[in-house]
């Protein structure tokens, strides 16, 4: 005890050293165990991410493969739908794909005019301005002038360039096919409404119809402007250039091919003829009708899909106020129409002037429409030198 009392500081130091050593040993054991666990996890990770399987998730890869196969199936189905040349019957048999004779062009012009008259017949339409006695028997009102017709159709001369003539023929044939689809949709809209409301055939008149008057069916890129300021020109397919999208006028040519760009068009779909890799051309259209103000959306709904891949971009409508002046402003073509005549001829329901602007796709893949002309072989530079 005397020794401890005299050397208490040495005993305390030794005790402290023992305590610290024990703590250090305990910490070392814990640390060593944790390091062992970390090394085990790291080893498993390295084994899993060895070069043969690095960054490869088998489940995710299976999902991507399934999605790719589904998209390929969709593409194959769409191409098989597009490649049905027998579905596209030319106005003049055998006129495509190569120019043969001026007589075919003249026959095409005559057949084009006859086709417009056929449209009128299919719709059960009467020209109210020219046939006032038939307005109470008609299913619709319209006129041949309401349908799109390229300016070259009325040109008495045939161009000396076979390539230009063939391009005009192809474009006008595509116009007719698009108008066929729209005419059929208008006709079906009225006929289905008559059937669903159990209206007998003898009572299927303008007063009961959903679409009462077809005022205009226009085709070409200029129709993307609701105010038809460019209708004097035959602009064709919608294209984009320079990072902006022209709506008629500059940049939209009847024959020139625009260079391929990665720019969206300023439309609902963003599609243009020169931003899809040459798969299709975008052919806009605009339909202006007088319709039942409560049921006109049935026409809008039907203007989708079909073999022309129709898409509605925008709709504008104005309810027709019940005054004689507003009848004229809205475009009603019945002559000298007053309020009582309006109710008798157009029916009791309110009317609306409806303008529907949309687009169709003209696929350029081989084996599609007869109007997809074979590409000319490129001429090698320096040939004949």
pLDDT tens digits, one per residue of 66-82:
888 888 888 777 777 77
User: If you compute the radius of gyration of the chain from its CA atoms, what whole number of angstroms results?
Assistant: 37
Averaged pLDDT for residues 199-203 = 89
Give the orientation angle of helix 102-123 with respect to helix 162-196, to 10 degrees.
10
Average per-residue pLDDT for the chain: 80
Higher pLDDT, 258 or 178: 178
User: Is 133's pLDDT higher than 50?
Assistant: yes
What is the structure's pLDDT at 229?
A: 35
What is the structure's pLDDT at 188?
A: 96
Nearest alpha carbon to residue 249 among 270, 226, 233, 227: 233
Give the DSSP H or E segment for 314.
Answer: strand 311-319
* Percent of residues, the chain, with pLDDT higher than 70: 80
* Percent of residues, the chain, with pLDDT higher than 90: 32
What is the structure's pLDDT at 46?
A: 66
CA 124 to chain centre: 29
CA angle (90, 95, 97) in 5-degree steps: 100
* Cα gap 154→108, rounded to integer Å: 11
What is the structure's pLDDT at 5?
A: 63
Lowest mean pLDDT across 83-92, 129-138, 145-154, 221-230: 221-230
Domain boundaries, the chain: 1-44, 91-363
CA angle (335, 231, 370) in 5-degree steps: 110
* Cα gap 86→161, rounded to integer Å: 29
What is the structure's pLDDT at 247?
A: 30
Residue owning tokens 């500081």: 9
- Reading phi first (left if > 0) and then psi (alpha if -120 to 50, else beta), residue 316 is in beta
- Cβ atoms of 361 and 280 closer than 8 Å: yes
What is the structure's pLDDT at 2?
A: 66
Q: What is the DSSP annotation of 144-174? A: GGGB---GGGG-SS--S-HHHHHHHHHHHHH
Q: What is the pLDDT of residues 20-56, one digit of tens each?
A: 777 777 777 766 777 777 777 777 766 665 655 556 6
Q: How confident is the model at residue 286 (pLDDT cuts 50, 70, 90)?
A: very high
User: Is 227's pLDDT higher than 70?
Assistant: no
Q: How confident is the model at residue 290 (pLDDT cuts 50, 70, 90)?
A: very high
Q: How confident is the model at residue 194 (pLDDT cuts 50, 70, 90)?
A: very high
Q: What is the pLDDT of residues 327-367, one digit of tens each?
A: 888 888 876 777 788 888 888 899 999 999 999 999 888 88
User: Is 245's pLDDT higher than 50?
Assistant: no
User: Is 385's pLDDT higher than 50?
Assistant: no
What is the structure's pLDDT at 234?
A: 42
Q: What is the pLDDT of residues 176-191, one digit of tens each?
A: 999 999 999 999 999 9
**In 3-state terms, what secondary structure has residue 349?**
coil
Q: What is the DSSP annotation of 11-77? A: HHHHHHHHHHHHHHHHHHHHHHHHHHHHHHHHHHHHHHT-TTTTT--HHHHHHHHHHHHHHHHHHHH
Token pair recorded at residue 333: 């073509």
Averaged pLDDT for residues 271-283 = 88
User: Is 83's pLDDT higher than 70?
Assistant: yes
């Amino acid at each position: 005890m005397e020794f401890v009392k005299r050397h208490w500081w040495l005993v305390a130091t030794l005790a402290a050293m023992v305590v610290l050593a024990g703590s250090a040993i305990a910490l070392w054991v814990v640390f060593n165990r944790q390091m062992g666990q970390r090394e085990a996890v790291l080893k498993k990770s390295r084994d899993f991410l060895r070069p043969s399987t690095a960054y490869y998730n088998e489940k995710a890869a299976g999902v991507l493969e399934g999605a790719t196969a589904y998209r390929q199936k969709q593409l194959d189905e769409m191409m098989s739908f597009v490649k049905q040349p027998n579905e596209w019957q030319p106005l003049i048999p055998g006129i495509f794909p190569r120019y043969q004779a001026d007589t075919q062009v003249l026959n095409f012009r005559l057949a084009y005019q006859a086709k417009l008259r056929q449209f009128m017949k299919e719709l059960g339409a009467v020209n109210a301005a020219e046939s006032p006695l038939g307005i109470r028997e008609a299913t619709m009102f319209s006129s041949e002038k309401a349908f799109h017709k390229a300016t070259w159709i009325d040109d008495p001369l045939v161009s000396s360039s076979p390539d230009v003539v063939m391009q005009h023929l192809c474009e006008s044939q595509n116009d007719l096919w698009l108008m066929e689809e729209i005419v059929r949709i208008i006709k079906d809209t009225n006929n289905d409404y008559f059937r669903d409301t159990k209206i007998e055939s003898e009572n299927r008149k303008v007063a009961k119809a959903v679409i009462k008057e077809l005022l205009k069916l226009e085709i070409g890129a200029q129709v993307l402007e609701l105010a038809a300021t460019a209708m004097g020109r035959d602009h064709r397919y919608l294209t984009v250039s320079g990072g902006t999208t022209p709506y008629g006028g500059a940049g939209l040519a009847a024959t020139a091919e625009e260079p391929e760009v990665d720019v969206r068009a300023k439309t609902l779909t963003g599609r243009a003829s020169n931003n899809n890799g040459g798969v299709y051309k975008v052919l806009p259209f605009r339909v202006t009708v007088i319709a039942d103000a409560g049921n006109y959306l049935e026409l809008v709904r039907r203007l989708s899909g079909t073999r022309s891949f129709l898409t509605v971009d925008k709709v504008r409508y104005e309810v027709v106020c019940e005054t004689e002046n507003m009848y004229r402003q809205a475009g009603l073509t019945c002559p000298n129409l007053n309020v009582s005549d309006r109710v008798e001829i157009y029916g009791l329901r309110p009317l609306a002037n409806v303008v529907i602007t949309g687009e169709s796709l003209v696929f350029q893949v081989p084996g599609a429409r007869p109007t997809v002309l074979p590409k000319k072989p490129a001429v090698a530079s320096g040939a004949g030198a």
